Amino acid sequence: MHSGGFVSSDIALVKVLRKTGILGEEVDPSLFHSRHSCPIRILGRRGFFDELAAIQKVALHLGVRYLDLFDPLVSAKLTLGEFLSKIDQQLLRAHHMLPLYQEGGKVLVALANPLDSEGVKLLSFALGAPLTVAIADEAKIVSLLSSSAPQTTIDFDAMEQIEPDEEVEFLGSTQKEENLDTELVDTPPIVRIVNKIISDAVVANASDIHVDPTPSGIDIRFRIDGVMQHVMDAPKRVQLPIVSRLKLIAGMDIAERRKPQDGRARVRVATEPIDLRVSALPTAHGEKIVIRLLSSNFDDLNFSRLAMPPEIEKNLMRDLSLTGKLILVTGPTGSGKTTTLYTCLKQLRDGSTNIETVEDPIEYRIGGINQVQINEPAGLSFASVLRSILRQDPDVIMIGEIRDAETAAIALQAAQTGHMVLSTLHTNDAPSAITRLLNLNADAFAIAASLQSVLAQRLVRRICDSCNSPMPAAAIASYSKVIEAYKLDPKELRVGLGCEACRFTGFRGRLGLYSYLPVNPEVAALIVRGASLQEFSAVAVKYGCQSLDQSAIELLRTGKTSLSEVRCYLNETEHAASAAAAAHDTTVMVVEDDLECRKKIGFMLGKEGYKIVEAKNGAEALQQLLSSKPDLIVSGLGMPVMDGRTFIQRVKAEDNFNQIPIVVLTSADSDENESELLDMGVDDFVSRARGPEVILKRVKRALSL
């Protein structure tokens, strides 16, 4: 339709735009030559008018319906699969139209240009049915068409006909271009194929493009919402030209195929600027290319997009208002740490602060912030750049990652000298970040004084709004143990059934799981003392640090994600989860004067889901009994003020408490000791020398008696 330039339907639509006052000036017909969009899209992108407002005014003028194809009410009716098997997809792509669903004996079809009578006639003939015409946003038509019917097979023998769904404009490489032989890779068919790959990835909202070499050619895959999806295959004869073209636009040496290379490029797809971070790696069947797609729109970053729990967002915002502190974000690669850090930088970028970053690589180019790219061969390491940055009078320093002892030491030094420092660590949870710093030989006093908080996070897929449905009974039955373990209401659980809007995956977009640990005076004291990870975790629980599995449960209860998606973040086994649930409403009192022993037992039982009440001697424990009656007591014997034997006797003498099971911690194993304890009414005893597993088994056994 648009491959030949300004056709009759385009002329008619432009006349409507002028007649309605949407377009107030003459337009140069050359704007439409070699373009592959309708006039509303082309002129809207060029700033002549607001595209959506123009579509709605045209719909009103022509008396046709306007449809928002992403509206859940529309998405729920779509039956694209019923039509797409009967139609040549190139027809739909050429005319920017999409049959939606049956309505009143006719097929409702969305067009970017409702005056395209030629396209309507061809589609009606192909379907063998009359049509009802509606107007829709061209970008949404293209997006639905690409996601519902991706071109997994391309006629590479007719490469001249391959066109991207969206216009792709290369804005240049950010690498130095040298040794580039462009004779092969600049041919129009190869340019079109590469443009189409990039265009389709952007339309599908992919985060990465993988071009994998195979014995027969290349396998092209997109990573969408964290999951790899096959898109298309290409034959061996176009492998080298495609790979070389990608290396060319990223500023790599296309003649060098034996060494890994990295490059960058910037493109504009439709109106959106996209940064491409390109990596080439030699493999047995040729070079593998991975392209990370990064939106250049820094304004899109905000805390509402991160969707943190309100309390965590409030705490983090408070932390960002401080000076002389270190804030850490932890998690594995791909967990969204960098996005969180950049969102924090946007919050801090008010024009009155000097913000410096040191990154490897720089993922977002941000105006008003001084960003430094690490270059190890040139001597630019994290540590060396940080030393220089400290002489640049910074207020805020963002370090891409703390990887070694020297970087950790400088980061803490910067925080101690009044700078706000933001960085990341690769750890599994928030408490582990502290032990990681200690393992890097960071000074414990410096950590205690400078570390303000640790945010651990993960990303999970969000259920598609268009096909969000109750969880089927069969699936509920398969997860029965987990549902029971976490006391979930099966009626609250949701799944995505799969639809055109989500490419039949059931998911669209991602959400964060968050766990926030504040470094308060008690945590700081543990750092100075060199406490264990278990102790840090116990204190985290004490101060309400939500674990990642608890965050996952909250998303389940609000119907935002599915059990299958978060299952790996719940307890490792269903048996462990069941134990946690059984213990959820069970309170255990731990009476022990040895603080370290008391905390270890409390952490071990707390991890199993038991509620913990602590007392350092018998007298304090009796006071606790008056306010909260526990389900079980674990008590030591040798304690000041009131020892364990006296405490046990007092408990057994009270009618309100004498039925509470008691497990005693002893230092000596002997028949005489056992006999004495049993005579006092103790239910069980265990030596302090035994491992935590034995203590836990004795507690569970006493509760079941």
Over the stretch 283-303, which tens digit does the pLDDT of each residue have? 999 999 999 998 766 666 788
Q: Is residue 251 within 8 Å of 174, Cβ to Cβ?
A: yes
Domain pair 8-139 / 150-295, same fold: no
Question: Model pTM greater than 0.85?
Answer: no
Question: How are beta strands 396-399 and 420-425 bridged, if at all?
Answer: parallel
Residues β-bridged to residue 228: 223
In CATH terms, the fold of domain 150-295 is Beta-Lactamase (3.30.450)
> Which CATH number fits the domain 585-704, given the four candidates 2.40.50.100, 3.20.20.70, 3.40.50.2300, 3.30.420.40?
3.40.50.2300
Compute the average pLDDT of residues 577-591. 65
Q: Which class does domain 8-139 fall in?
A: alpha beta
Domain 300-459+511-546, CATH 3.40.50.2300 — does that match?
no
Compute the average pLDDT of residues 340-357. 89
The domain ranges of the chain are: 8-139, 150-295, 300-459+511-546, 465-505+547-581, 585-704
How much is the pLDDT for 501?
74
The answer to whether residue 450 scores a pLDDT higher than 90 is yes
Question: Sign of torsion, CA 613 617 618 623?
Answer: negative
How much is the pLDDT for 705?
52
Compute the average pLDDT of residues 604-618. 82
Q: Tens digit of pLDDT for each residue in 375-389? A: 877 778 888 888 888
* Dist. CA 107–CA 128, nearest whole Å: 10
Task: Name the band, by pLDDT with cuts 50, 70 and 90, for residue 30.
Answer: low
Compute the average pLDDT of residues 324-345. 90
* Dist. CA 573–CA 583, nearest whole Å: 16
Both structure tokens of 574: 């269903």
The answer to whether residue 575 scores a pLDDT higher than 50 is no
Q: Dihedral through CA 686, CA 692, CA 698, CA 700, nearest 10? A: 160
The answer to whether residue 13 scores a pLDDT higher than 50 is yes
Compute the average pLDDT of residues 497-507. 76
Question: pLDDT higher for 11 or 179?
Answer: 11
The answer to whether residue 669 scores a pLDDT higher than 60 is no
Residue 422, classed as helix, strand or coil, is strand
Q: Is residue 542 within 8 Å of 518, Cβ to Cβ?
A: no
Task: Name the band, by pLDDT with cuts 50, 70 and 90, for residue 623.
Answer: confident
Compute the average pLDDT of residues 365-377. 82
Short-list 108, 102, 97, 86, CA closest to 144: 97
